[in-house]
Amino acid sequence: MANPREAEHPEVKIRLKGVGKLYPNGVRALRDIRLDINRGEIFGIIGRSGAGKSSLLRMLNLLESPSEGEILIGGEDISQFETKRLRVLRRRVSMIFQHFNLMSSRTVAQNIALPLRLIGVPREEREKRVVELLKLVGLESRHDAYPAQLSGGQKQRVGIARALVLQPEILLCDEATSALDPESTQSILALLRDINRRLGLTIVLITHEMGVIRDICDRVAVLDEGQVVELGDVWQVFGAPKHEVTRSLLGALEHAHNDDDARGREGLTLDLFYNGSAGWEPRPEAIAGALGKEAVLLHGAVERIQQRSIGRLRFWIGGDAGTWDAIVSRAKSVADEVVVVSLPKPATGGASLEPATLAHA
């Protein structure tokens, strides 16, 4: 029988309502967390060290118990589950770890089959399921290998296969790529995306790697001192971060100005921002038409996040100062935001612009 609370919000798989965590030593790890995680999405959680990411993730399968609030999965408050229902929950909510947690004395197949063995699944059925999962994670040829014979990326693939062996509805990822090299990271992210699409799993991951959030997540929550300080689609949060912590974490994507390249230049310096809000694309012919033949690209970077252009381009424009007002006006038609970074002060009359003037498209 369907849970009536779930029927009210069929798109929501996980709901946190006023969740907090106070440890016995007096450390307040989480404060009034309110989140909805949708069915079938890949949801990321980022924050500085000590922000509460791990505590929050571990509450989703009750490895940590909340001090207050409700954690609803499928409409049921799991914080009220007794031991028997917890065992069932942990089949529905599986987890992969940063350091793989494989048993060195067991083969790849034996590591994957272990959860099935513990709940008494017959050997023939276990072996069939292991073969299916080895194919899914691309390790068919490593059936009888031991963990010491595997690369880091292969070990994590075994960890993913083991996490999927009980056919969970939710997959929790605890810094699943932080121990891997860049190439292995990309292969694991591609595997997680494939699993998400093919199996319809809801995936929740914590990470300190902003590239992981950018490449795989649908939405992201930013934690600071145990609180959610920013929440939204990845393109929104990366394109126009509102909180100081988010801007700090994003680093190179932070919309900060480095004016060193503008000093001493006799001309107008503009930043064209692309934050995805209006869907502008940095089309070279359109930018050239707006800024004119005197425009020079100083530096910048634009990338695609969730099919939207996110980034900043800095231009220097020489020529007649009397044309700069018109140039800025035209620039508004080719970018989401335009910032006048610098221009020389005319001796008499001349352009009316001031540095750091913000022009919204």
pLDDT tens digit sequence for 277-316: 887 889 998 999 999 887 899 888 888 888 888 888 999 9
Query: Domain range holding 312?
Result: 259-360
Residue 324 and residue 353: Cα distance in Å, rounded? 8
Q: Which helix (H) or strand (E) holds 69?
A: strand 68-73
Same domain, residue pair 99 and 199 = yes
Q: Which range scores top for mean pLDDT: 76-85, 94-103, 163-172, 265-274?
A: 163-172
Indicate if 229 and 162 belong to the same structural domain.
Answer: yes
pLDDT for 345: 52
> Both 135 and 170 in a single domain?
yes
Q: Are residues 237 and 96 in the same domain?
A: yes
Tally of structural domains, the chain: 2
Q: State mean pLDDT over 264-285.
A: 84
Q: Of the residues 250, 270, 296, which one is the last residue of a structural domain?
A: 250
pLDDT digits (tens, 9 = 90+) for 316-351: 988 777 788 889 999 999 999 999 887 655 444 444
* SS3 at position 338: strand
Shared domain check, 263 and 230 = no
Which of the residue ranges 117-121, 173-177, 308-312, 349-353 would you say has the lowest mean pLDDT?
A: 349-353
Q: What is the dihedral of CA 92, 96, 97, 100, to 10 degrees?
A: 130
Distances from the Cα of 61 to the Cα of 19, 86, 122, 168, 176, angstroms:
14, 8, 26, 12, 17
Average pLDDT, the chain: 86
CA distance linking residue 156 with residue 173, whole number of Å: 11
For residue 180, what is the DSSP state? S
Q: How far is CA 224 from CA 50, 120, 233, in A?
A: 8, 43, 18
State which of 223, 250, 277 marks the end of a domain. 250
Please report where in the chains the tokens 């050997």 appear, as a residue: 123
Query: What's the CATH number where 353 sits?
Result: 3.30.70.260
∠ CA 359-346-313, rounded to 5°: 35
Kindly state whether residues 54 and 151 are assigned to the same domain: yes
Instruction: Indicate whether 245 and 266 sit together in one domain.
Output: no
Tokens coding 322: 């009397």
